[in-house]
Structure 1
Amino acid sequence: MRAWQLRTFGLENLELAETPTPEPGPDELLVKVGAVALNFRDKAIVDGIYEPDKMPENLIPVADAAGTVVAVGEGVTAFAVGDRVTSHFYSRWLEGQPSHNEPDYSLGGPLHGGLAEYMVLHEDTAVPAPDTLSDEQAATLPIAALTAWYSLVENGKVQDGQTVLIQGTGGVSIFGVQFAAALGARVIATSSSDEKLERVRELGATDLINYRTHPDWEKVVLELTDGLGVDVTLDVVGGAGLNRSIAATRPGGHVNVIGFLDGQTASVDLMTLLFRQTKIHGIAVGHRASFVEMNNFIDEHKILPVIDTVYEFEDAIAAYEHLNRGAFGKIVVRVG
């Protein structure tokens, strides 16, 4: 089969190669990949800034994939040939609280991912793809959608009538807007682009803040909420901006840290944190049971993933370059 392999760190070292097609072992599925979707994590792995010591040689990258089961190993009962499935990022986190070593079993690094014509998934790891979505759409779900869902529903427990703050217009953020709006929440969205803000308004955002026009955007959030702050914040930036997220969130509210665009370390104003008694929660995607629940919600509410651009398999490098420039929604690579 053809597969993209990372010879060593750096995008120039991501190469399209011929490699043996894997065979499914006991309890495993062989999946013909239809599409994959890129996340910031995929870029960070290629750049060598995401746990580089754990990445094997000739890694097949990209965690998010959707496709069709073409063969099953001995003992498989949950799926059959012809079923459409998606990957699940943390391959051993099926429900409940995460184990200490979940990152060691994550797809797209250190385990091989889906940027190939075929991939093997354990039947416990694979997730049925929503019937309402194509492979290109379903491929966007494993990290971006599940991260937003887990932040809002499993952790934030967002209810009808509450207020949610969502930063940016990347994949997680767009899903966050769609889910929060469908849950009945008031959605405050931030971006540096007025054009993108108008597009998120169409997806359900009710209040828009351009953080370049309003660098003290947390003060605008407080004005919009009568000085109280939002119930739940999805912080995709990290770094020094975490203090602004804390200030924009109501006392006792949730700040879900889901990204590190502004750096992997943060210096927190402890007095503000203590006085507001903020719950800061690191979010690393979610478990499989939550994934299945999310897919049911997607089908029920007819939510369609927002895809910026679909690239062909041979143009994966261009897809990464697009991801580096930024996108509105998801960057997808069509494989099958």
Structure 2
Amino acid sequence: MSIPSTIREYRSQGDNHQNLKIQQAPLSKPRASEVTIKVHAVSLQYRDLIVSKGRYPGQKTNVVPCSDGAGEIVAVGEDVKGWKVGDRVSPNFAVDHIHGDVTEDIKNTGLGGQIDGMLREYINVPSHSLVKIPEHLTYEEGATLPCAALTAYNALLGPVPLKGGDYVLVLGTGGVSIFGLQIALASGANVIVTSSSDEKLQVATKLGAHHVINYNKNPNWEDEVLKITAGRGVDHIIEVGGPNTIRKCIKAIKYAGQVHIIGFVSGGDSGIPVGAAIGKAITFRGILIGSVKQFEDMNRLFIARQIHPVVDRVFSFEQAIDAYSYLESQKHVGKVVIKIA
């Protein structure tokens, strides 16, 4: 395959996604420890909307956006071992997070934020960041794994893994939440899903959710959760709402349960009520994606259970702005993907 010397890429000026621009850029050869990937697809995160507005902590100016992508290796640096041209791969969200805990230095290697990301036709990345895409997945499906899937996996199967028979509460039906549902089910848990939309809850039920709650029709959904669990509360919560939902989660969680703090899509500015947290011995754990090692472990689960990511819509490379607008509308269930190659 001939590799071009110039490619198309998007750049974000931090003044809203409507102003994303395609431009031409040179493509260098991979360094000794790098590979060149022809990007086939990228998926969008809530983080990408924040980057597009220039509000993401530590983001690079004029950044190439998007952390999550999948493609094929088209060139390999001279010192690279274990990878070859033609391999189907994704780079990890933070390219230097190989194993263990996050550090400040690792955090500063986040694609599409602190460093240039995946919304381009080709990219050079360090070979240590790579993970093979499961063979049963398309590039569009593979592109959804690095952030949303791995975040949900790290939450539910990280330091305090769920056990078969545990109750897991998933807030909403966005990317992380739907992966949380799928991973919890694959691990033998009972899953409760909340949403403002009956249509979205129907999708969650089809995917296998045991209980669904419309929080518009049932604003005291935490009481419904306690009813479902016979007053005990749930073992794990995928908390994507933030300050406006945290108090309800404190009521819905069991004593010594795990609340995995992932997002703040519901807004609000009040903090965690410390007395209530101590009074139930709750663990609040902020999740900052995961490592290459966890990514590999997650893919083994996806292969064993033949899990397919839920892709809501696929847009073309030229329709990237429309894809961002669709994500912002929150009409999606699962993931919004941009097809590039």
Instruction: Provide the secondary structure at the position in 1 that maps to 2:26.
Output: coil
Question: 1:45 corresponds to which residue?
Answer: 51
Question: 2:333 corresponds to which residue?
Answer: 328
Is the 1:242–1:266 contact (alpha carbons within 8 Å) kept by the matching residues of 2? no
Q: Provide the rounded CA distance (Å) in 2 between the counterparts of 1:272 and 1:284.
A: 24
Q: Provide the rounded CA distance (Å) in 1 between the counterparts of 2:226 and 2:106.
A: 37
Q: What is the one-letter code of the residue matched to 1:99?
A: T
Q: Provide the rounded CA distance (Å) in 2 between the counterparts of 1:261 and 1:8.
A: 19
Is the 2:244–2:268 contact (alpha carbons within 8 Å) kept by the matching residues of 1? no
Structure 1 position 23 matched with structure 2 position 29 = yes
Question: 1:274 corresponds to which residue?
Answer: 278
Question: 1:127 corresponds to which residue?
Answer: 131
Q: Provide the rounded CA distance (Å) in 1 between the counterparts of 2:269 and 2:85.
A: 45
Structure 1 position 251 matched with structure 2 position 262 = no
Q: Which runs of 5+ in 1 are unaligned?
A: none
Question: 1:96 corresponds to which residue?
Answer: 100
Question: 2:187 corresponds to which residue?
Answer: 183
Deviations 1:32-60 (A, max 9, x none): 00000000000110012211xx3333311
Q: In terms of mean alpha carbon deviation, does 93-102 or 244-253 score higher?
A: 93-102
Is the 2:141–2:311 contact (alpha carbons within 8 Å) kept by the matching residues of 1? yes
Is the 1:156–1:232 contact (alpha carbons within 8 Å) kept by the matching residues of 2? no
What is the TM-score normalised by the length of structure 1? 0.97
Q: Provide the rounded CA distance (Å) in 2 between the counterparts of 1:286 and 1:266.
A: 27
Is the 1:240–1:267 contact (alpha carbons within 8 Å) kept by the matching residues of 2? no
What is the TM-score normalised by the length of structure 2? 0.95
Instruction: Report the count of equivalent residues.
Output: 334
Question: 1:34 corresponds to which residue?
Answer: 40
Deviations 1:219-263 (A, max 9, x none): 111111111100000000111311111111000000000111133
CA positional deviation for 1:155 = 3.5
Q: Which runs of 5+ in 2 are unaligned?
A: 1-6
Q: What is the one-letter code of the residue matched to 2:15?
A: F
CA positional deviation for 1:270 = 2.3
Is the 1:34–1:66 contact (alpha carbons within 8 Å) kept by the matching residues of 2? yes
CA-based RMSD: 1.2
Aligned counterparts, 1:233-244, within 5 A: 233-244=237-248
Q: Provide the rounded CA distance (Å) in 1 between the counterparts of 2:45 and 2:284.
A: 23
CA distance 1:8–1:212, change in 2 (3 Å): closer
Structure 1 position 173 matched with structure 2 position 177 = yes
Structure 1 position 106 matched with structure 2 position 94 = no
Question: 1:207 corresponds to which residue?
Answer: 211
CA distance 1:5–1:70, change in 2 (3 Å): same
Structure 1 position 299 matched with structure 2 position 303 = yes
Instruction: Provide the secondary structure at the position in 1 that maps to 2:176.
Output: helix
Is the 1:28–1:76 contact (alpha carbons within 8 Å) kept by the matching residues of 2? yes
CA distance 1:93–1:265, change in 2 (3 Å): farther
Q: Once the two structures are aligned, what percentage of the paired residues are identical?
A: 38
Q: Provide the rounded CA distance (Å) in 2 between the counterparts of 1:101 and 1:245.
A: 32
Instruction: Provide the secondary structure at the position in 2 that maps to 1:247.
Output: helix
Q: Provide the rounded CA distance (Å) in 1 between the counterparts of 2:54 and 2:95.
A: 22
Aligned partner (choices 230, 238, 241) of residue 234 of structure 2: 230
Deviations 1:172-209 (A, max 9, x none): 11111111011110001100011111110111210111
CA positional deviation for 1:7 = 2.9
Is the 2:243–2:271 contact (alpha carbons within 8 Å) kept by the matching residues of 1? yes
Q: What is the one-letter code of the residue matched to 2:106?
A: E
Q: What is the one-letter code of the residue matched to 1:12?
A: Q
CA positional deviation for 1:264 = 7.4
Question: 2:122 corresponds to which residue?
Answer: 118
Q: Provide the rounded CA distance (Å) in 1 between the counterparts of 2:86 and 2:155.
A: 32
Is the 1:22–1:118 contact (alpha carbons within 8 Å) kept by the matching residues of 2? no
CA positional deviation for 1:74 = 1.7
Poorly superposed stretches of 4+, deviation over 3 Å: 263-266
